[in-house]
Structure 1
Amino acid sequence: MQLQTRVRNALLAATLIAPVGVAVASPVDALPPDVLPVVVGNSTGRGDATYLYVIGTDLGSGRLGYVNQAGAFTPWPAGQNPPSPAPDVAIPGPGNGGSGTINVPRGFSGRVYFSLGSKLDFRLTPDGLVQPAPWAEGDANRDILFDWSEFTYNDGGLWLNSSQVDMFAVPHAVSVTGSDGSTSTTGEPKPGGRQAVIDTLRSDPAWSRSVYTRSDGTVLRVLAPGKAAGAGQLDPGYLDSYISSAWDAYASKTLTVQPFGDRPDTKFFGHTSGNVMTFTDGSGAQVASFNKPSSASVWGCDGDLPSPNDQVVGPISRTLCAALNRGTLGTIDTQPSTSAADFYRTSPTNLYAKAVHANMIDGKAYAFAYDDVGNFESLVHADDPRSASITLSSFGQGVR
């Protein structure tokens, strides 16, 4: 099961600016509730039936499965090759203007899927669940309007985010209320924000094919650049010229990476020779090197930009990935840059991330894998939550 839970990335990468991590309760600490209620609201303005799915991993056993509306976990049955249909585990969702409650057990990490108009088609292989991949030709969910939030709920609390890492489809706000009564909310688009993102991408010839419209005129999604390029809807080398310019800049100057907000004295220094950027620590010892990444590596924050869960290579790589997506590498020589006013000013640039962030009320989104570098991600957290919510936001006038 290829569950791309960006919350997990957040837990690994949040220390790039703020020292946030998974708290482990001590014996004297009170644990969060065994089951956490999550209210799902529907403000889309659409008349479709909605369906909810809670799928992921039981953290205690490592088993993959689903959670029912009451919060009980069930492992998936064995799958087959070719993939066999998964059990129908849809939870009826709220109609427009309504809300409903699902429950999540402590010790679970996964996704809350929500589809409008049709149920999703899930399949099982011997390795686990096949996730919907509507950017792939022939995917059974290609013509369904759907999206998801991602979360981890464990002894350290709840991490919940709206995700645009793969696509922008159904904008949704996420919130959590702690035991002290305080509520944190993020992910809410500006009025007309969904349509503004669509219009921005559609009006640029290089990006217009990343907007996918169903035969009835419903815009189902805008693909993130990595998915669009993989599907042949965006030039696979779109960002290459900027990457080369940014990379080559450090043949004649030094890039300083300070990846830990709580350890500002930890610095790494990068210089480019040919296509390789090499980093040294404060003692002058070489600690990491990276080949000049392709556009695909930047979009995915992988490939030439591997990010192991260590204290050197991973943090440097995540910082490089964020700087290249935001267009600040090459001109801002101490990274990460944390001024949003400096982002997405290069040409070419990550227009998808720029448009998504520009149309969020608080400017926060998960438009690429390490958008949490600098705390620009649409993530809420409470170490002792009492409730949470996911609100499917208005599609605006025309509800298309």
Structure 2
Amino acid sequence: MPPIRQLLSSLAATAVLATAFAGAGPTATARAAQAPVQPVAPRAAVDATIPLTLKNNSARGEQVYVYNIGTLLSTGQQGWADASGTFHPWPAGGNPPTPAPDASIAGPANGQSKTIRMPQFSGRVYFSYGQKLDFRLTTGGLVQPAVQNPSDPNRNILFNWTEYTLNGAGLWINSTQVDMFSAPYAVGVKAPDGTTKTTGHLKAGGYNGFLNALRNQSGGWGNLIQTRADGTVLRALAPGHGIESGALPASVMNDYINRVWTKYASSTLTVTPFGDQPNTKYFGRVSGNTMNFTNSAGAVVTSFQKPDADSVFGCYKLLDAPNDLVRGPISRTLCAGYNRSTLLSNANQPDTSSANFYQDGVTNHYARAIHAQMADGKAYAFAFDDVGNHESLVHDGDPREAFITLDPFS
């Protein structure tokens, strides 16, 4: 299971708690969360901890701070790991939230590497430049940064994170832009034979190429970029957060959504949600404000109200995707089709050919620009970017070492 799916579950409650502190709703990754994490017993093939080597190729001079936080899968406890991989549960928080223990690890200087150990977690590795992150604890757990809120204490800190799950079945680790595009990095995993799989690197010039693509895209997309008072670019918000913060018009996807609604009022959208089950198909038709899906026997299995842009970008609300075998898989497919703007060009979904993605003038230009600048074309630019296996994820069932490479801002 990719870590973004397991992490969604493990961090759902803590992300929701961010409302109490940051004054903002759940992060985009948490919007897709449904099921609680279940403890996973380790098996002999995977050590209790494995090395994580951080390489600093950023060409920046600031001190780097690293945090390894998440859920300890053997117990279900939330906490953090120190440089040796030792787990520390979070203490009780408060209301208002109280400062969390300093979980930071001094990262490598530019041009250097540092190896720490990661335990069997479903969690995140955060890294920040020049300043420690401000984590707080409520009575229910950890509050995650929510930088779409201008009053969030981490708003003016340059930081990013990777998501991972390490358990008895191996390591899944990905780069993610589901919430924001920020400090560039790549991830990797070393297999027992010494080979390394990596993903997340930008093309040469890709960092500035992405930012310029947003700046040059009409319709308010450049407003997603956040800068510090000194002019430093901190990040570009994902478009759902852009709508939430007022940076992007809430109507930005309306034209495409309306055209989809018109098309499937008189024709059928066929969804085949499981690649290994080609005979499992669902058939969508619009009636009024509702798209009804039937199975092969003609019975209605689920229905969706006409979505708005926020539902599309966040893959939630009117496109909610529960962890079931019908509505969730259909919703995932619809969400990918809306974000990639393939629902009009192909009545059979999912369309898995990246050559067909983002071809309409109304599309998720944030996701389009990210994928265009990735060295391998892979990214997690929205919650269900793994539909069709276009996500920036590496996995090994017997990992010997994990890697995070901090890349140049160019």
Please indicate, yes or no, whether the TM-score normalized by the shorter chain is above 0.5.
yes
Match of 2:262 among 228, 248, 253: 248
- Structure 2 partner of 1:169: 182
Structure 1 residue aligned with 2:149: 136
CA RMSD, Structure 1 to Structure 2 (Å)? 1.8
**Partner residue of 1:61?**
75
- Per the alignment, residue 111 of structure 1 pairs with 124
Report if aligned partners of 2:7, 2:122 keep a CA contact under 8 Å in 1. Answer: no
- 1:346 matched to 2:360: yes
Amino acid at match of 1:294: D
Counterpart residue number, 1:382: 396
| Aligned pairs for 1:1-400 within 5 A | 6-8=4-6, 30-106=44-120, 108-205=121-218, 206-396=220-410
Please give the secondary structure, in 1, of the residue aligned with 2:318.
Answer: coil
How far does residue 9 in structure 1 lie from its aligned partner after superposition?
7.1
- Alpha-carbon distance between aligned partners in 1 of 2:289 and 2:111, rounded to the nearest angstrom: 54
Aligned 8 A contact 1:162 1:365 in 2: yes
Higher RCO, 1 vs 2 (CA within 8 Å, ≥6 residues apart): 1
Residue type of the alignment partner of 2:194: G
Q: How far does residue 26 in structure 1 lie from its aligned partner after superposition?
A: 11
Task: Return the offset for 1:59.
Answer: 1.7
Distance 1:114 1:194 in 2: 17
Q: What is the deviation of 1:372?
A: 0.3
Counterpart code for 1:339? S
Aligned-residue offset at 1:208: 1.4
**Amino acid corresponding to residue 386 of structure 2 in structure 1:** D
Alpha-carbon offset, residue 6 of structure 1:
2.0
Q: Secondary structure at the match of 1:385?
A: coil
Distance across 2 between alignment mates of 1:158 and 1:247:
41
TM normalised by structure 2 equals 0.89
CA distance in 2, matches of 1:373, 1:361: 19
Residue equivalent to 1:19: none
* 1:330, distance to aligned residue in structure 2 (A): 2.1
In 1, the alpha carbon distance for the partners of 2:7 and 2:290 equals 26
**In 1, Cα distance between equivalents of 2:194 and 2:258:** 49
Unaligned 5+ runs, structure 2: 10-36
Query: Normalising to structure 1: TM-score of the pair?
Result: 0.92
Amino acid at match of 1:127: G
1:373 is matched by which residue type in structure 2? V
How far apart are the structure 1 equivalents of 2:268 and 2:366? 29
Residue type at the aligned position of 2:161: W
Asked if 2 retains the 8 angstrom alpha-carbon contact of 1:7 and 1:159, the reply is no
Tell me the equivalent position of 2:12. none
The separation in 1 between residues aligned to 2:342 and 2:328, in whole angstroms, is 19
Hey, what's the Cα distance between the residues in 2 that align with 1:118 and 1:308? 38
> How far apart are residue 91 of structure 1 and its match?
0.1
Q: Greater shift after overlay, 361-370 or 198-207?
A: 198-207
Distance 1:192 1:166 in 2: 22
> Which region of structure 1 is more displaced relative to structure 2, 29-38 or 269-278?
29-38
Percent identity of paired positions between Structure 1 and Structure 2: 54
Change (3 A) 1:10 1:227: closer
Q: Which moved more, 1:241-250 or 1:317-326?
A: 241-250
Distance 2:160 2:356 in 1: 30
State the Cα deviation string for residues 175-195 of structure 1 (Å, max 9, x = none). 111223332111000011111
Offset at 1:334?
Answer: 0.5
Whether the aligned pair in 2 keeps the contact of 1:10 and 1:372 (CA below 8 Å) is no
**Cα distance in 1 for residues equivalent to 2:290 and 2:116:** 49
SS, match of residue 66 in structure 2: strand
Match of 1:14 in 2: none
2:41/2:168 contact within 8 Å kept? no
Q: Give the corresponding residue for 2:30.
A: none
CA contact (8 A) 1:9 1:369 kept: no
Gap change, CA 1:296 and 1:330, over 3 Å in 2:
same
Residue pair 1:42, 1:95 contacting (<8 A) in 2 also: yes
* Residue identity opposite 1:57 in structure 2: T
Q: Match of 1:251, SS?
A: coil
CA displacement, residues 105-160 of structure 1 (integer Å, 9 cap, x when unaligned): 12x11000000010000011101111111111211011110000000111111110
Aligned 8 A contact 1:54 1:111 in 2? yes
Q: CA deviation at 1:88?
A: 0.8
Q: What is the distance in 2 between the residues matched to 1:299 and 1:25?
A: 31
Shifted more, 199-208 versus 37-46: the winner is: 199-208
